[in-house]
Amino acid sequence: MSEPSPSDDEGYVGASNLEVMAVAKRYNAFLENMVINASGGAETALDFGAGGGEFARRTASHGLTVTCVEPDTALRERLKREGFETAPDLSGIGPASRPYIYTLNVLEHIEDDVAALRDLFERVAPGGTLFIYVPAYQMLYGSMDRLVGHHRRYTLSVLSKRVEAAGFAIQDSGYADPVGFFAALAHKFIGSDSGEISDRSVALFDTLAFPVSRALHRVTKRWFGKNVWVRARKPA
């Protein structure tokens, strides 16, 4: 299972896959828990690449005030109607103004990811936190990645080095969804050439396979998974 994220103002080409991922209740709850645990008790958060707002809504339900950065006009207007403060890019976000920024399956869409990380560093307040979650392993790159405009997938080493190069100090990191690694590998070789994923296959994985994946997470997080994540701090 892999997740798309919005990319540009002309309309996100993987919007159908984005909507399909909403049926992954267990997976989304797992990721929600990671986002909240990484917040360190912050009262405000910035969702960089908020998409349709799945995780902005979940984060807000925990009492955080969430600002959404989303380049796609239609998705951004939807977020505005739901009451979120929005911006099309980071230029509208003040320097050193956000105690917590999270970004989920977005960095892989940005050609110059190092520049994006430096921009995020400028927006995080001193002592604040950045949480990043992205697809792992270039060997899994397939039709879905091409469909939604992924430039790359990451290893833990590559992601960590780029985050540190932007000025952050790594606090914790690892891989996630080990069973999903094998599902993504299977999709690469026997899945649809179009890159589309069905709600039925996502729901089936979420019900039968993801509970196993979640149980294995702590054991395998240093070794492999479908995704990789980093929690980092901006020096005070």
Candidates 3.20.20.70, 3.40.50.620, 3.40.50.150, 3.40.140.10; correct CATH number of 15-233? 3.40.50.150
pLDDT at 2 (0 to 100): 35
Question: Which residue carries 């994540």 as its tokens?
Answer: 229
End-to-end CA distance of the chain: 37
131: Cβ contacts below 8 Å, ≥ 6 apart = 34, 35, 38, 39, 100, 101, 102, 103, 229, 230, 231, 232
Q: Are 13 and 39 contacting, i.e. CB atoms less than 8 angstroms apart?
A: no
Distance from C-alpha of 210 to C-alpha of 214, rounded to nearest angstrom = 6
Q: What is the pLDDT of residue 187?
A: 86
- For the chain of 236 residues, list the mean pLDDT of each consecutive stretch of 10: 40 57 92 98 97 96 98 96 98 97 97 97 98 97 92 98 98 98 91 80 94 95 96 97
Looking at residue 195, its pLDDT comes to 74
pLDDT, position 5: 40
Strands (E), 136-226: 169-176
Q: Are strands 124-135 and 98-104 parallel, antiparallel or unpaired?
A: parallel
Domain ranges of the chain: 15-233
